Amino acid sequence: MGTRPFDIARSRVTLFEALLRARDARGGKFKIVEDHERKPLSYDDVIRAAFALGGKLDGLIKRRETTGIMLPTGTGCVVTLFALHAIGRTPAMLNFTAGAMNLRSACEAAHVKKILTSKRFIQIAKLEGLVAELSKHAKVIYLEDVRKDIDFGDKIVALVKGFFPRAFAAKGSPDDTAVILFTSGSYGTPKGAVLSHANLVANVEQGYSHVPFEPDWSFFSPLPMFHCFGLLGGVFLPMFTGHKTFLFPSPVQVKEIPKLIKDTGANVFFATDTFAQQYARNADDDDMKCIRLMVLGAERVKPETRDMYMKRFGVELLEGYGATEASPLISVNIPGQNKHGTVGQFIPGLEWRLEPVPGIEGGQKLYVRGPNVMRGYLDPLKPFGIDLLPEGWHDTGDVVDVDADGYIRILGRVKRFAKVGGEMVSLNAVENYAQQLWPGAMHAAISMPDNRKGERIILFSNQQDAEASTLLAWCKENGVADIAAPKRIVYVEDIPLLGTGKTDYVALGRMAADLLARAEAA
């Protein structure tokens, strides 16, 4: 199996050095990354392309400058990221689904003055309006224009640098900032997490020592590289451990992805529960039988999703847990030790502690500290522009229960509890109750202010006949307190999602506020 004991010393390298180390181990000609264009790149190809592109970007971007990358998941984004590292620049991965206001805020927080993107991508994704807005605050550089200037001489130089990469790559410390990633923004404005080279390489090593991988397995990832799950799980983990990875630009192509999994023979697949259900519904029975290890994260795995994958494809779903601030992996179930309803056990090398939360029973707030945990959040008012974590501890904001065997059960985020009539009610639990009653639909619960009871719970659902009275009756029959039953259920055709597949609770909050305002005005 492709596992090794966790050795923290292996994380004391830069991302570029981790890439070179993997090339030395696997061989420069090994085809390591491919995307939907179906032009696989070897380690040597990636390194030479990074030097060629980096040579041109060196004259366009100031030294030590943070540079925005706004590209879809694919080999172009991989090369661009390593090109910036080859010349000692820091990439900030920009979430092009976050909207102009959040992106402008992100650029300001990270002092991004230049954004690297692609004309073709902007046209296909219809992001011209977004680029027009961002161009008021930062210079937009199109990679097609940069590549046009790469001539034969530049390619020869890149070839020579590829033979002696350690001599020509920018020197850096493992503790330098490797990438700035922005939190998903599920519950508010995204925050910039400052991750070092050592953070990310450590998380690769932690994951590889915790999860068994066969040496010949290949990966498939449609997750966005602006999200830590996609960046580490789909790119750094396979590339730094010598496993070919196939990158797909969008997780929403639910009909195409199952066919590509079969076509590429991929064995390791990362997704969210929402997308996993859609892939299964659009797949033929033999499309995903090549999968040997499938990890779902970012949201709870539903029992019906597990049943669907086991019955149709013979695939056992593994649920994991992470946070952008932890690079992201914190815990994950593994084959043979898969405890349903939990997110597995903590990865090696990670410290954790629990603190009680007033009013919440059965769980406590989780704090983590370790080599994979970020330096801090971007904050221009702090020294060096970073709000450092107190003694290295990150407050996850998640309420969890850890059993005697070390398995973690997520009860919800602290901010995902509503105080109704003085009692704390888990909004995640409300969603779970609705899921048990209407398993074929999607549900999302939020809380809104209430003059009488402090807060009220509103449930959004795409179950057309969902009624609050029906859910209340179910709660009574199943011993659930009446207080946990939402007094109002709102039908929506689609639950709004973020680009990562997570529920967009901010958008739902706006929808609820609008509904209440109209009701009061009527």
The span from the CA of 498 to the CA of 127, in Å, is 16
Instruction: Select from 309, 283, 311 the least CA-distant residue to 295.
Output: 309
- The set of long-range contacts for 378-386, using a CB threshold of 8 Å and a minimum separation of 24, is 378/109, 378/110, 378/180, 378/191, 378/192, 378/193, 378/194, 380/109, 385/111, 386/194
Would residue 69 count as lying in a domain?
Answer: yes
Q: Is residue 375 part of a domain?
A: no
pLDDT of residue 427: 84
* In-domain check, residue 268: no
Residue at a domain's end among 219, 235, 250: 250
CA-CA-CA-CA dihedral for 147, 152, 158, 160, to nearest 10: 180
Which residues form the domain of 514?
421-521
Q: Is residue 306 part of a domain?
A: no
Q: What is the CATH number of the domain that holds 475?
A: 3.30.300.30
For position 289, what pLDDT does the model report?
Answer: 92
Query: Is 221 a domain residue?
Result: yes
Q: What is the pLDDT of residue 404?
A: 94
Among residues 250, 273, 303, which one ends one of the domains?
250
221 touches 235 (CB < 8 A):
yes
How many structural domains does the chain have? Answer: 2
Classify strands 139-142 and 114-117 as parallel, antiparallel or unpaired: parallel
Distance CA 169, CA 85 (A): 8
| Nearest-angstrom CA–CA distance, 419 and 422 | 6
Q: What is the pLDDT of residue 478?
A: 86
**SS3 per residue for 184-253:** CCCCCCCCEEEEEHHHHHHHHHHHHHHCCCCCCCCEEECCCCCCHHHHHHHHHHHHHHCCCEEECCCCCC
Q: Is position 334 within any domain?
A: no
Is 408 part of any domain?
Answer: no
Question: For every one of its 522 residues, what pLDDT tens digit does the chain have, with 9 covering 90 and above?
Answer: 456 788 899 999 999 999 999 999 999 999 999 999 999 999 999 999 999 999 999 989 988 889 999 999 999 999 999 999 999 999 999 999 888 888 998 898 899 999 999 999 999 999 999 999 999 999 999 999 999 988 889 899 889 888 999 999 899 999 999 999 998 655 556 789 999 999 999 999 999 999 989 999 999 999 999 999 999 999 999 999 999 999 999 998 999 999 999 999 999 999 989 899 999 999 998 999 999 999 998 888 989 999 999 999 999 999 999 999 999 999 999 999 999 999 999 999 999 999 998 877 778 999 999 999 998 999 877 777 888 888 999 999 898 999 999 999 998 777 777 777 667 788 888 888 888 889 888 898 888 887 777 788 888 999 888 888 898 889 888 888 787 788 888 888 888 887 667 788 878 888 878 877 776 665
Instruction: Give the domain-ending residue among 220, 250, 280.
Output: 250
Report the CATH number at residue 96.
3.40.50.12780
Is residue 218 a part of any domain in this protein? yes
